[in-house]
Structure 1
Amino acid sequence: MTSTSTESQASGAPVSASATDDRLTARARLTLLLLCAAQFIIALDFSILSVALPVLGEDLGMGQADLQWAMTAFALPSGGFLLLFGRISDLFGRRLLFLAGLAAFTLASVLAAAAWDPASFLTARALQGLGAAAVVPTGMSLLTTTFPEGPQRNKALAVNGTVLSLGFTVGILLGGMMTDQLGWRSTMAMLAGAGAIVALVAPALLAESRPAERPRLDVPGAVTVTGGLLSVIYALSTAADQGFGEVEVIVALVLGLLLLAAFVAVEFRAAQPLVSLQMLRRPGVAFGNLGGLTTFSMMSSVIFLLTLYLQQVLGLSGFETSLVFGAQGVVLAVTGMVASRIVAAIGARATLVTGLAVQAAGTAALVFLPARGGVPLAVTALLLASVGHMSAVVSYGINATSGLTDHEQGLATGLVTSAQQIGITVGIPVLSALAAGRASALERTGEDVAAALRAGTRLGLGVDAALVMAAALAIAVGLRRARAAR
């Protein structure tokens, strides 16, 4: 997934007029729109079924305990194969794998829309996840190699981060509205149509891109990170249904952690690693990526947990739930437009720390959601958390790539991409497992289902807020010490 500072690219009109300002040519804007559209579609797929799960389960004959696999079947391959596909794209061409991933995602969405039983649907979801694992890293690599380092790349990354965050929210908004009006299959059909449009337009705008020197595939790194991520995500997703005490969960979790530890050891010794962990010795790189990993993973979890609360505790319909997240989408869009000005005014470090603190405060307020009449508190706290989240999204990449030489920028950008992608994949399984485990334990003691779910949701949100605040404090202290040591 990493890229070198020197890239080989097929002939085509340059998309940027200058690397010293943030003005973009018409072709640059179209290219950015295309790449962001692809990322937006993938982000939609992470959340668009959240509201539709009860209806989907009834239609396909899936039990309540099996519904989580509608999300997990997508999350497993999309998270597990990210880094591997990023390096494969360096070997065979980013444009080629980007288009192949889009095609696979689109065809899988058609299959999901036409699914006739649980097996066909879950197979389609897994294929969607594989397509997403190819599209996301190659799309980011194409973005960073298309736009030169400096104001143009900063602007492109900020726009991309904003679009990615909006995708989660819009996914729930569309999922609720479309499921109520047209049925859950319309959500998958919409993804197929959007994917087909992007796939048809992409060849005209994107030139092939790969590093000037063809890298070697880090086979030990690819095996350990892919196996580790698959095992951890599987363990956490299974724990959400069966609990952490099951042997299957414990074995998968321990195996995954051991493989990820092996991956770290391999990467520090590899001549051409999948991810340059050596860069994490730079405080700005390390703490900037910690901010990105935290804000993406924890905000996606808030959206997921709050969806469960609104529908299963308060009894809101899919459409009513979507209206709550529609308000969030407006706030995210507005904050994304002004966040760059905040960075210019107070600096990227202060913006990141403050953004995470505000996100933590908003999330903490959600812990007090009542059993009835909780919509006003839910909306207010969610909007506050969203302002902090988007501020962190815009600023973390700047922190993680500042103060580096030109030839280090590609490696640093690879880490930024990894933090973002892994964050959006692992957050929901982790927090939903905690919430579901708490709810299941209370149900076994005779607690009402809605009350147990509310308690589990509050636990998940409380842990979420604590992790975000801990990250904010760690980043503030770490970057201050690094600055003092210069």
Structure 2
Amino acid sequence: MSTHTDLQPAPPAPRFTAAERLALAVLLTANFTLAVDFSILNVALPRIGQDLGLATGHLQWIVTSFALCAAGGTLFFGRVADVFGRRRLFLAGIALLGAASAAGALAQEPALLIVARVAQGVATAMVTPAALSLLTTLFPEGTARTRVLGLNGALMAAGFTTGAVLGGVLTGAVSWRWAFYVNVAVAVVVLAAGPFVLSGGTAGRRPRLDAPGAVLVTLALVAVAYGISTAGESGWTHPAAWGVLLAAAVLLVAFWQVENRVREPLVAPSILRRHNVSWGAVAGLLAFATETALVFLLTLYLQDVLGFGAVAAGLALAVLGVGTVVGGLAAPRVIGRTGAKWAMVAGFVVQATATLPLAFAGGSSAWVVPLLVLTFAGGVANLVVIVGYAVTTTAGVPAGQQGLATGLVTLSQQVGITLGTPLLSAVLAGRLADGLLPALRLAIGVDAALCLAAAALVAVTVRTAGGPGRPASSAPARSSSR
């Protein structure tokens, strides 16, 4: 019997040069700030409505307008990064983010605030895939890239939780307008340092940008985000929900037909035929959907069942944020030992195991300590999955298509965040007649079941050529990051 084990020792941590560390700091700072933006205004919505005279029924547009543009433009701008230059698009997006945030901070009317949020969403769609493709081209495939993606995943997941806590603190201590001023300060710093620390090569022949495909996919993704948001508010049977989602499906079919006919498509069908790209993106969508939906459900549990205040509930959920940071830092070592595919499978299984006991939570405050322990463990596991899917989806993709691949990574993240809460809200609403606690238990149980289903899906569908400690394909030489 062989004495060898299937597990391989983790490869040594790569050493980064001073220039690489500076570039990494700029890119990670930008991505962390964008993650904070997804949640920083949620707690402040009632105060914003009071200050600007925005009706309660219209407050959701402060969040929805941002999410629609962030999700709708991601794939398009991911390809623009490949065609016109990643560094150029990154810096342009940061400049737009700073200007839009300044407008939002100074807004005295609801319309101006909504316009500012739209511009922030567009800036997010520009910056996120550009920053991620800069990371994947600055650092070669293998242990260096895995470590960098681990740091990026940890900070982005922590940013989502940090945004919820920071938004409440700023709104209570100073003003909700400081949530916008933070972005202005970050934009100034990144714009001052970025041109000097981010390398930028010149493109050779620039392919023609597929305008029909860009229009179709952007409209389709906006329709998906809008339909999901509407379903979360009005129910999945509402015509404004299923009608828009049906229109999105028609647009996606038309987009696929266009991509198979044009000479230089926005999304080359060949990249979606890569199992690691397509199924890796689906795994990422499920990872973000299950964890962000769980945060929503636990917020209701802590406040409406256990009677916690908003700040106390936010601080309790900050433990989950700590778990995500630990998971992001541990993920490269886990992936180095098991490979990205099996790291994702194990992560989903552990996440399900940590979530399932919460489906039996009672109305006593004695559940607080188990909740903290379980959400910490689930956060660690969730980030292992997120880093694993980012590694898987970008592995073996040519440098000229890294913007597109990272656009798919970002798209799955944003659609997952948008999809998860409305989906489990519908489950919750269907059981509310029996009381809030039984409804929450059912929805949390469904969340755990989705994690197990995702583990099975990854195990069956994701194919990688590399084994533990190796990339999914032979690592290409480090390429220029336009």
TM range (shorter): 0.7 to 0.9
- Structure 1 residues 318 and 194 mapped into 2: Cα distance closer, same or farther (>3 Å)? farther
For residue 199 of structure 1, what is the aligned residue in structure 2? 191
8 Å CA contact 2:287–2:416 kept in 1: the answer is no
Counterpart of 1:260 (choices 246, 252, 276) is 252
Q: Distance in 2 between matches of 1:458 and 1:273?
A: 46
- 1:22-37 to structure 2, matched below 5 A, reads 22-37=14-29
SS at match of 1:47: coil
For 1:24, what is the secondary structure of its paired residue?
coil
State which of 354, 360, 364 in structure 2 corresponds to 1:368: 360
Query: Quick one: which of 425, 432, 435 aligns to 2:421?
Result: 432
For the residue of structure 2 that corresponds to 1:395, the secondary structure is: helix
Amino acid at match of 1:394: V
How many corresponding residue pairs? 455
In the alignment, which of 165, 181, 195 is matched to residue 189 of structure 1? 181
Q: Which amino acid aligns with 1:427?
A: G
Residue in 2 aligned with 1:421? 410
Q: Is residue 2:122 matched to residue 1:130?
A: yes
Q: Does 1:410 align with 2:393?
A: no
* TM-score of the superposed pair, with normalisation by structure 1: 0.84
1:39 aligned to 2:31?
yes
What does 1:213-252 correspond to in 2, within 5 Å?
213-252=205-244
SS in 2 for 1:275: coil
Shift of 1:229: 0.6
Query: What corresponds to 2:383 in structure 1?
Result: 390
Structure 2 residue 61 is the aligned partner of structure 1 residue 69: yes
TM-superposed CA distance for 1:390, in Å, is 1.3
Q: Residue 451 of structure 2 is aligned with which of 453, 462, 468?
A: 468
Residue in 2 that maps onto 1:338: 330
Q: Check 1:326–1:280 CA distance in 2 against 1; reply closer, same or farther (3 A cut).
A: same
Q: CA RMSD in A?
A: 2.9
TM-score by length of 2: 0.85
- What residue identity is the alignment partner of 2:274? R
Whether contact under 8 Å (1:227, 1:259) holds in the other structure is yes
Please state whether the residue corresponding to 2:209 is helix, strand or coil.
Answer: coil
Closer, same or farther: CA 478–82 of 1 in aligned 2, 3 Å: closer
Question: Equivalent residue for 1:14?
Answer: none
Question: Which residue of structure 2 aligns with residue 175 of structure 1?
Answer: 167
Partner secondary structure for residue 80 of structure 2: helix
Aligned mates of 1:482, 1:206 — CA distance in 2: 31
Answer 1 or 2: higher relative contact order, Cα 8 Å, separation at least 6.
Answer: 2
Separation in 2 of the partners of 1:108 and 1:481? Answer: 41
Q: What is the CA–CA distance in structure 2 between the aligned matches of 1:482 and 1:31, rounded to whole Å?
A: 30
- Measure the CA separation in 2 of the matches of 1:479 and 1:82: 23
The equivalent residue for 1:17 is none
- Runs of 5+ in structure 2 lacking a partner? 1-11, 467-482
Report deviation, 1:29: 0.4
Counterpart of 2:86 in structure 1: which amino acid? R
CA distance in 2, matches of 1:54, 1:370: 30
Sort the Cα spacing of 1:271 and 1:300 in 2 relative to 1 into closer, same or farther, 3 A. Answer: farther
In 2, Cα distance between equivalents of 1:377 and 1:270 = 55
Where does the alignment leave 5 or more consecutive residues of structure 1 unmatched?
A: 1-19
> Which stretch shows the higher mean deviation, 338-347 or 77-86?
338-347
- Aligned-residue identity in percent: 39
Partner of residue 478, structure 1: 461
